Chain A
Amino acid sequence: MAKNPDQRDLFPGALEIMLLQSLRHKPMHGYALAKHIKQVSDELLQVEEGSLYPALQRMLREGWLDAETGISAKGRPTRIYRITEAGTRHLEREVVSFERMFAGITRVLAVAKA
């Protein structure tokens, strides 16, 4: 995922969580989605197009998203992705799991610091 060594790869599943959460917030088309993540994360995270679209298709196949025809902000026809029920459930499960992992890491690092 990283274009240069200064950037780090996200852990597996991270991209999906963020995409689902973003789409839960608001259904968007692909370009808007990429921009949204970049903005909201204050440019700390950047989604590469080479990962975005395959991830979107995978999630479509899993049934976590729906795609429908729509109009982009610029007035061009595009496909808008929206989260489904199943997607919501998956997202919540994954978030819980992520938070537990994060808590664990935090505690280990806290010990190391002390």
Chain B
Amino acid sequence: MSLFSRLFSRQRRYNDLSVSIQEHIAERADELVEEGMPRTEAEQKARREFGNVALVEQQSREAWQWPALESIIADLRFALRRLGNSPGFAVTVLLTLAIGIGASTAVFSVINCVLLKPLPYPDSSRLVALRLDAPGAAGLANFTNGLQLSNSMYLTFSDHNQSFSSVGVWYPSKANVTGVAQPEEVNVANISGGVLEALAVPAAQGRLFSAVDQEPNGIKTVILGYGYWQRKFGGDRSVIGRTIQVDSISRQVVGVMPRGFRIVDKDFDLLAPLALDRNHQILAGFGGDGIARLRDGVSIPQANADIARLIPRWMDSWSNGPGSNPHYYEVWRITPNLRLLKQQVIGNIGSVLWVVMSTVGLVMLIACTNVANLLLVRAEGRQQELAIRSALGAGRARIARELLLESVLLGLLGGALSVGVAYGGLRLLTAIGPANLPRLSEISLDATSLAFTFILSVVSGLLFGSIPALRYARGAAAVVIGNADRTASTGRPRQRTRNILVIAQVAMALVLLVSALLMIRTFAALRRVEPGFADVEHIETMSVSIPGMMVANAHAVSQMQNEILAKLAAIPGVVSAGYGEAVPMDETDPNWDTINVEGKIYDGGEGPLRLFNYVSPGYFNTLGTRIVAGRDFNWDDLNNIRPSLIVSDNFARQNWGSASAAIGKRVKKYSGSPWQQVIGVVEDVRVHGADQDAPPIIYWPAMFYDRYSAADEMDGLRTVTYVIHTSRAGTQSLLEEMQKAVWSVSAQLPLASVQTMQQIYGRSMARTSFTLVMLAIAGSMAFALSLIGIYGVISYSVSRRTREIGIRLALGAQKHELRWMFVRSALALTCIGTVIGLAAAASLVRLMKALLFGVSPLDPLTFIVVPLMLGAAAALASYLPARRAAAINPVEALRAE
């Protein structure tokens, strides 16, 4: 008998059975009639002899059933029917669960895709980032990336290492591509040999770079990124072998990378070989990111030791030019500190994500508490029914199973709805999330997330279902059937569970609200910081890059840049304009170099490294950076290439005691260079973000003599960022006029990175604002849910105590006394919850410390304001039902039931 046919024939079986039994009884009755008994008596006797007909029929049917499964299905159908009968309850619970589970799933997806999943390279656990620490190199090496590699370092490591199967170094840059439709600025990854070998991802079309491509004097080649290939060439396979102009250099396309290929975490339009010339490398130039693939069996400490051994060899193999001391770098105390590549990618986004996960988890718990309360009320309404069933023989397990089944069903239904919420939540998260959220493109709602949704639905169903199940699935002995409410009101113990739940809610809401308020204060503190520039909504920035192949002569380049500047300044509505190598907070550091102050002696012979910027006249004025002493550059200084410089306020105070004392003092870049004179001091600028200290900055004029030699050879910047102060910043019309201005000077120049300072500033605050938004949302949801919880408890209490209230009123209680009675109970609950919550918050906020700025984790103002706020809201929430209680008509209350 196959399962299938069994299911179909079951009804027929039941039918047959019924007929058989009825016929059996009828035949026996006939027999008895033949023996002389009257018909009715015969039928009764036949029936009695048979036994309990219904029971026998049921037992016979069981041959065709799977009893356990049948009863579970019956329970489920019953639960569904009951849910259908109370749509208000069902909708409330399902909505609450859908939002809670959906939000949790969305955040989990982000954590899974960003933190937990391995990088998309074969055997990615063997990939390491070649991080070097250099505690003696001051400003150059105190970023999250440590000291970056120079080309000579790469060559030494590559030639002599024993730990890596491949090692390489790469630099991101931008380039102008011409000869393909409009001139466009693209992202280029300049990679040395070993990078593609380490990542071990094969090309989608054509081939990868080989040693031939890295020859400095060979044919110049390039590999396209997948997105760029689709966009610009429409996925045309014949692109292999074609030539494109990159920064006015002809490069032959030899391959295309597969879709989704990234170097570490960045997407690139083009990959170009570094093609290093071994004969022209120097020690310095620390700007490359190193990647390597560890050999089998080699651990990171072993690789660290290997590289440490190669550092002195590097210093011996190369030099910085005649007369320089290669072993100067010993001052820097360069130590290898290799990290798993995945760790490098994730950086410290992990702390933010875990904070977000915890807050969402707390909100989920609060939602479950609310649902548990609702279920408790419902179970209380079913008490009579459950008591009767218990008396009829249902065991504790049986009743508990039914209650749990109902709550798991609710959980699963909520979970099914939550998938939609999770999807929407993910879209929202990726839209408002920090722009530098790593692996952003990999975030999606995949099988793991759905499994998480399922598990969370079941677990939360069990969790909030266990509370009514524990309370109401009692044995027959403890049951009270009948009108228990006749004499008094609800006894104290009945409400205890609900009260505990509300207290838990209040405590959790308090923790969330404290965190949210701390973040609000952090955000406010960050905004109050004086960043060193002003009026960000009205400053437009744009960068333009003039490649060497287009205009070789540095003087001509500067002329072009100045022409463009003049045209930009002439646009109607532009108040002032200027340009520089970088603008604050744009996440690039143009240059760090040594600076020697006249009269000071330094260890190692050279001064410390300081951040350099190269600016035009008007740069400071446009940005709103105040000039504290002295004056700005003027065109005279630039055109005559005067040896002058401007320094930041903190540098002036560090070296000469005050800003005014700095004017006229002399510095030089390194021992062999000529003296330069300080002509002005500007206020500090927080170029690394509002929460970072302002570094000392040296500003040079944009036209200067060559950086590394003393010869009278003028040099300028190839890439400059223009800043324009105008009320029209951010508008399309301004953009068009800017384009016209640039193209009137040269039609080949693309505009790049057009954005307002507002956008740049916003991005630097992105991590904080993201956390803030998340916590604010979570905090408000928690707040609302807790208030609903308090309202619910008090409201329910009022309805249960109607008779008591009626009695009190009849005996002469004042209305306001009654109201106060209920409000007081709510405040008592809130108080206890607050105390617990404050204790929890005090211990948990230490975890948030990394995200806070300008406010201590145990900020007294926050810890006072939040409880007061919560108390006031609780009082209000309980006042409404309390008012209802006082409005009860005692006659009706006593008459009811």
Which residues in A have some Cβ–Cβ distance to B below 8 Å?
29-31, 34, 48-50, 53-54, 56-58, 60-61, 63, 67, 72-74, 76-79
Inter-chain contacts of A30 with B (CB < 8 A):
20-21, 23-24
Whether the pair B56, A67 counts as a contact (CB closer than 8 A) is no
Report the separation of the CA atoms of residues A100 and B312 in the bound assembly, to the nearest whole angstrom.
94
Report the separation of the CA atoms of residues A64 and B857 in the bound assembly, to the nearest whole angstrom.
78
Whether the pair A48, B51 counts as a contact (CB closer than 8 A) is yes
Report the separation of the CA atoms of residues A50 and B55 in the bound assembly, to the nearest whole angstrom.
8
Report the separation of the CA atoms of residues A77 and B23 in the bound assembly, to the nearest whole angstrom.
8
Report the separation of the CA atoms of residues A77 and B24 in the bound assembly, to the nearest whole angstrom.
11
The answer to whether B417 has its CB under 8 Å from any CB of chain A is no
Inter-chain contacts of A34 with B (CB < 8 A):
24
Inter-chain contacts of B265 with A (CB < 8 A):
none
A61-B1 in contact given A50-B59, A54-B62 (Cβ < 8 Å): yes
Measured as residues with beta carbon below 8 angstroms from the partner, the interface class of chain B is: 20 to 34
Q: Pick the most buried of B1, B13, B24, B61: most chain A CB atoms within 10 A of its CB.
A: B24
Inter-chain contacts of A49 with B (CB < 8 A):
21, 24, 49-51, 56
Closest Cβ neighbor of B49 among chain A residues: A49
Q: Contact partner of B23 among A31, A48, A54, CB < 8 A?
A: A31
Inter-chain contacts of B55 with A (CB < 8 A):
50
Closest Cβ neighbor of A59 among chain B residues: B63
Whether the pair A54, B1 counts as a contact (CB closer than 8 A) is no
Report the separation of the CA atoms of residues A72 and B28 in the bound assembly, to the nearest whole angstrom.
12
Q: Contact partner of B27 among A54, A63, A72, CB < 8 A?
A: A72
Q: Contact partner of B61 among A57, A74, A76, A79, CB < 8 A?
A: A57
Inter-chain contacts of B64 with A (CB < 8 A):
57, 61
Inter-chain contacts of B63 with A (CB < 8 A):
54, 57-58, 60-61
10 sample A-B contacts, Cβ–Cβ < 8 Å, listed by A number: A49-B50, A49-B56, A54-B63, A57-B13, A57-B60, A58-B63, A76-B23, A77-B23, A78-B20, A79-B16
The answer to whether B26 has its CB under 8 Å from any CB of chain A is yes
Inter-chain contacts of A60 with B (CB < 8 A):
13, 63
The answer to whether B305 has its CB under 8 Å from any CB of chain A is no
Q: Identify which of residues 60-86 in chain B touch chain A, using a CB-to-CB cut-off of 8 Å.
A: 60-64
Closest Cβ neighbor of B55 among chain A residues: A50
Closest CB in chain A relative to B749 CB, distance in Å: 87
Inter-chain contacts of B184 with A (CB < 8 A):
none
A78-B59 in contact given A49-B51, A63-B1 (Cβ < 8 Å): no
The answer to whether B484 has its CB under 8 Å from any CB of chain A is no
Closest CB in chain A relative to B13 CB, distance in Å: 7
Inter-chain contacts of A77 with B (CB < 8 A):
19, 23
The answer to whether B606 has its CB under 8 Å from any CB of chain A is no
Closest CB in chain A relative to B4 CB, distance in Å: 14
A31-B28 in contact given A54-B59, A61-B63 (Cβ < 8 Å): yes
Closest CB in chain A relative to B844 CB, distance in Å: 60
Whether the pair A78, B23 counts as a contact (CB closer than 8 A) is yes
Q: Contact partner of A29 among B17, B23, B52, B61, CB < 8 A?
A: B23
Closest Cβ neighbor of B61 among chain A residues: A57
Whether the pair A53, B60 counts as a contact (CB closer than 8 A) is yes
Report the separation of the CA atoms of residues A79 and B17 in the bound assembly, to the nearest whole angstrom.
8
Whether the pair B60, A56 counts as a contact (CB closer than 8 A) is yes
Report the separation of the CA atoms of residues A58 and B195 in the bound assembly, to the nearest whole angstrom.
72
A72-B13 in contact given A54-B59, A57-B60 (Cβ < 8 Å): no
Whether the pair A72, B17 counts as a contact (CB closer than 8 A) is no
A78-B19 in contact given A30-B24, A50-B59, A61-B64 (Cβ < 8 Å): yes
Inter-chain contacts of B27 with A (CB < 8 A):
31, 72-74, 76
The answer to whether B30 has its CB under 8 Å from any CB of chain A is yes
Known: A29-B23, A79-B23. 17 other contacts (CB 8 A): A31-B24, A34-B24, A48-B51, A49-B49, A50-B50, A50-B51, A50-B59, A53-B56, A53-B59, A54-B60, A56-B20, A57-B13, A57-B60, A58-B63, A60-B63, A77-B23, A78-B23
A54-B56 in contact given A74-B27, A74-B30 (Cβ < 8 Å): yes
Report the separation of the CA atoms of residues A4 and B27 in the bound assembly, to the nearest whole angstrom.
25
Whether the pair B13, A50 counts as a contact (CB closer than 8 A) is no
Whether the pair B17, A57 counts as a contact (CB closer than 8 A) is yes
Inter-chain contacts of A29 with B (CB < 8 A):
20, 23-24
Closest CB in chain B relative to A81 CB, distance in Å: 9
Q: Pick the most buried of A29, A49, A76: most chain B CB atoms within 10 A of its CB.
A: A49
Report the separation of the CA atoms of residues A77 and B19 in the bound assembly, to the nearest whole angstrom.
8
Closest CB in chain B relative to A19 CB, distance in Å: 13
Closest CB in chain B relative to A67 CB, distance in Å: 5
Whether the pair A72, B56 counts as a contact (CB closer than 8 A) is no
Closest CB in chain B relative to A85 CB, distance in Å: 14
Inter-chain contacts of B49 with A (CB < 8 A):
49
Report the separation of the CA atoms of residues A53 and B50 in the bound assembly, to the nearest whole angstrom.
11
B457-494 Cβ-contact flags toward A at 8 Å (1 or 0): 00000000000000000000000000000000000000
Inter-chain contacts of A31 with B (CB < 8 A):
23-24, 27-28
Inter-chain contacts of A74 with B (CB < 8 A):
26-27, 30
Closest CB in chain A relative to B501 CB, distance in Å: 48
Closest Cβ neighbor of B27 among chain A residues: A31
Q: Identify which of residues 13-58 in chain B touch chain A, using a CB-to-CB cut-off of 8 Å.
A: 13, 16-17, 19-21, 23-24, 26-28, 30, 49-52, 55-57
Closest CB in chain A relative to B39 CB, distance in Å: 14
Closest Cβ neighbor of B15 among chain A residues: A79
Which 9 residue pairs of A and B lie closest in terms of their CB atoms, listed nearest first? A57-B63, A78-B23, A31-B24, A31-B27, A53-B60, A57-B60, A54-B60, A58-B63, A50-B51
Closest Cβ neighbor of A77 among chain B residues: B19
Report the separation of the CA atoms of residues A29 and B25 in the bound assembly, to the nearest whole angstrom.
12
Q: Identify which of residues 295-336 in chain B touch chain A, using a CB-to-CB cut-off of 8 Å.
A: none
Inter-chain contacts of A79 with B (CB < 8 A):
16, 19-20, 23
Report the separation of the CA atoms of residues A30 and B23 in the bound assembly, to the nearest whole angstrom.
8
Inter-chain contacts of B26 with A (CB < 8 A):
74, 76
Closest CB in chain B relative to A69 CB, distance in Å: 8
Closest CB in chain B relative to A114 CB, distance in Å: 44
Report the separation of the CA atoms of residues A53 and B57 in the bound assembly, to the nearest whole angstrom.
8
Report the separation of the CA atoms of residues A48 and B30 in the bound assembly, to the nearest whole angstrom.
19
Q: Identify which of residues 512-554 in chain B touch chain A, using a CB-to-CB cut-off of 8 Å.
A: none
Closest CB in chain B relative to A89 CB, distance in Å: 16
Inter-chain contacts of B60 with A (CB < 8 A):
53-54, 56-57
Report the separation of the CA atoms of residues A48 and B60 in the bound assembly, to the nearest whole angstrom.
13
A67-B24 in contact given A48-B51, A53-B60, A58-B63 (Cβ < 8 Å): no
Closest CB in chain A relative to B21 CB, distance in Å: 6
Inter-chain contacts of A63 with B (CB < 8 A):
1
Inter-chain contacts of B30 with A (CB < 8 A):
74
Closest CB in chain B relative to A75 CB, distance in Å: 10
Inter-chain contacts of A53 with B (CB < 8 A):
17, 20-21, 56-57, 59-60
Inter-chain contacts of A76 with B (CB < 8 A):
23, 26-27
Closest CB in chain B relative to A28 CB, distance in Å: 11
Closest CB in chain A relative to B729 CB, distance in Å: 83
Closest CB in chain B relative to A38 CB, distance in Å: 12
Report the separation of the CA atoms of residues A55 and B702 in the bound assembly, to the nearest whole angstrom.
103
Inter-chain contacts of B50 with A (CB < 8 A):
49-50
Closest Cβ neighbor of A61 among chain B residues: B63
Q: Pick the most buried of B1, B28, B56: most chain A CB atoms within 10 A of its CB.
A: B56
Closest CB in chain B relative to A72 CB, distance in Å: 6
Closest CB in chain A relative to B845 CB, distance in Å: 65
Q: Pick the most buried of A31, A48, A61, A63: most chain B CB atoms within 10 A of its CB.
A: A31
Closest Cβ neighbor of B52 among chain A residues: A50
Whether the pair A72, B61 counts as a contact (CB closer than 8 A) is no
Closest CB in chain B relative to A51 CB, distance in Å: 9
